[in-house]
Amino acid sequence: MLRCALQRMNASRLPPRSSALLLALALAACGGGGGSGTQPLPGLAAISTLAYVVSDCRGSQKDGTIRQSLQIRQADRAAITVAEADVMSPLSLDGVARCQDIGERREGSRFGAYGVFHRLGVSPDGSQVAFEVTDDDPSTLFAPNTLLPQQKGIFAVRADGTDLRPLAPASRESVEPPNAAPATTFAFSPDGRLIAYTDRDDQDAVQIFTADLVNGGGRTQVTHLPPATPPAGSPARTCCPNFADAQTISFLTIANVDGTNPDGDAVNATVKTDGTGQMVTRPPVGIPGSQVVTTFGITGKLNPFLLRLPTPAPVNLNQAGGGLGQIQEVFVTDGVNVLQLTRFQRQDTWSPTLSADGQRVFFSASADLRDGKNLYQDCQVFSIDVLGDDLRQVTNFTEGAYAGGSYSPTGCHSGRRANGCTVFSTGRDTPSDTLLFYSTCDPFKGSNVSNPYGDQLFAMHPDGTGLRQLTNTQGYQEDPTSHTASFETPFPWAHPGQEDND
């Protein structure tokens, strides 16, 4: 019989103010190593390795608590817990209110910043998981400075929960800069030896760093960019590193790299993993005033990305739930040529990702193709040929007709139930070639995996078949008798091949 063992930090070593939070790190757990596992259920989409944090907020008008646990699931095996904030941390009244607001709006993605687990990553073969633990970020709902120094940092663990080891100190760069989506992903090198992420140097400038999973950890600074401050209202910053190949890291920055970007434009840059060869490749968009929303790698193949256009106004400008009032469209580039794939003129098109054969791009949007499939302009997954042909709606999510109008008030933005549901962070699990995404939709109403008021992780085949719900967290619930509310959600999360692509 397999046995599961968790080695917990000795509570007697904690100072009094830290007694509210213990971090339990798994040194052994049930399950096999690597990315392989049991076969998927017949007809349903397979997955390789999925890592996610279950965040649980609950409380009343007087007090509340928050707890988190990092779980790893290999294929169809039961998820194992490898790290957790295992004693509930008390929340302030402001923290309770924020949790309730997040729950009602179904914005579980906020826990990338509001919890102590910030960044996650899964190696390309699914055998390793990297994760970051810190309570130093001012956004966290946990009491600050609760964790002991040895409990904070960047760690790696095998997907079966064994061989836990520290890699580097926690990053000092917030996962949620002002006006930007959380950047909660560690980028893995193709061979699984390195992770890339953002951190701050001694001059407080945001840089790209790597950590070595094989040779004892430790971080290496690979860029030396000058400090840069985003313009007011701009989400641009140095962010989103991805490996273009085994020796090259691609990232987005507004820094004046080598004196070639004095105006602070959002540019794509590359650097070698040894810190040499830093260079700028301006996205060849040719549209004055436009802004790249997501980065792309210079790999010699097609790369999809989002571009924010300054004019005209989006057709859903008055949509509730967010947006900067600018159109976002999907483009594709080979590093020289650029082709616009979508012309929805909407502000809520997200998460472009390339198919395994490089022939189609998947993304989420609330467009109505006028074919009768999305009359209410709900958020859906779409796909399109890389030449801009054969646009298809892959999902068919809906919450029905909406009060006060014939279409979803929120589209692909987060919002309260009955205003529409969202789909975002669409990505391809590379070992299984399955599409994974995060959604507040409820395609399995009335079943034992129903999602009536929360956020869940889903998987499906690229053609939209084999849809399955991978998590079953409780979402948002209220108890009118005790005047308490709770919210449980799976975020952040990671899988092989995942990128920070808004």
Could you tell me which of 250, 295, 296, 253 has the C-alpha nearest to residue 270?
Answer: 250
The residue that leads in pLDDT, 179 or 398, is 398
DSSP 405: B
Number of residues assigned to the chain: 502
Could you tell me which of 155, 139, 137, 144 has the C-alpha nearest to residue 25?
Answer: 155
Task: Encode 358-392: b = buried (16+ Cβ within 10 Å), e = exposed.
Answer: eebbbbbbbbbeeeeebebbbbbbbbbebebeebb
Separation of alpha carbons 474 and 266, rounded Å: 39
Asked if residue 502 belongs to a domain, the reply is: no
Tell how far CA 74 is from the center of its chain: 19
- Give the pLDDT mean for 314-324: 74
- Give the pLDDT mean for 289-313: 78
Choice among 6-15, 105-114, 199-208, 337-346 with the minimum mean pLDDT? 6-15
Asked if residue 183 belongs to a domain, the reply is: yes
Is the whole model's pTM more than 0.85, yes or no? yes
Asked if residue 500 belongs to a domain, the reply is: no
DSSP 161: S
Over residues 459-501, the pLDDT tens digits come to 999 999 999 999 999 999 998 888 889 999 999 999 999 876 5
Query: Residue 332 contacts by C-beta under 8 Å, 6 or more apart in sequence?
Result: 302, 303, 304, 305, 338, 339, 341, 361, 386
One-letter amino acid for residue 6 of the chain: L
Indicate whether 157 pLDDT > 80: yes
The DSSP bridge pattern shows strands 153-158 and 165-168 to be antiparallel
Q: What does the pLDDT read at residue 281?
A: 76
CB atoms within 10 A of CB 169: 16
Number of domains observed in the structure of the chain? 1
- Give the pLDDT mean for 313-330: 81
Indicate whether 137 pLDDT > 50: yes
Task: Please check whether residue 111 is in contact with residue 175, taking contact to mean a CB–CB distance below 8 angstroms.
Answer: no
DSSP 93: H
Band of residue 220 on the pLDDT scale cut at 50, 70, 90: very high
Band of residue 295 on the pLDDT scale cut at 50, 70, 90: low
Q: What does the pLDDT read at residue 232?
A: 59
Q: What does the pLDDT read at residue 42?
A: 62
Q: Write out the E strands in 366-501.
A: 380-385, 392-393, 423-429, 434-439, 456-460, 468-469, 475-479, 484-494
Domain extent for 413: 5-37+46-494
One-letter amino acid for residue 32 of the chain: G
Q: What does the pLDDT read at residue 91?
A: 85
Indicate whether 327 pLDDT > 80: yes
Enclosing H/E stretch for 85: strand 80-91
Band of residue 63 on the pLDDT scale cut at 50, 70, 90: confident
Q: What does the pLDDT read at residue 12?
A: 28
Indicate whether 14 pLDDT > 70: no
The residue that leads in pLDDT, 256 or 178, is 256
Q: What does the pLDDT read at residue 52?
A: 97
**Which range, 177-181, 218-222, 414-418, 444-448, has the best average confidence (pLDDT)?**
218-222
Asked if residue 319 belongs to a domain, the reply is: yes
Q: What does the pLDDT read at residue 249?
A: 94
- Residue entry with tokens 């005047």: 483
Q: Which string of DSSP letters, residue by residue, matches 24-83? A: EEEEE-SS-SSS--SPPPTTSPP-SEEEEEEEEEEEESS-EEEEEEEEEEETTSPPEEEE
Over residues 255-286, the pLDDT tens digits come to 888 788 888 877 888 999 999 998 887 666 66
CATH no. for residue 370? 2.120.10.30
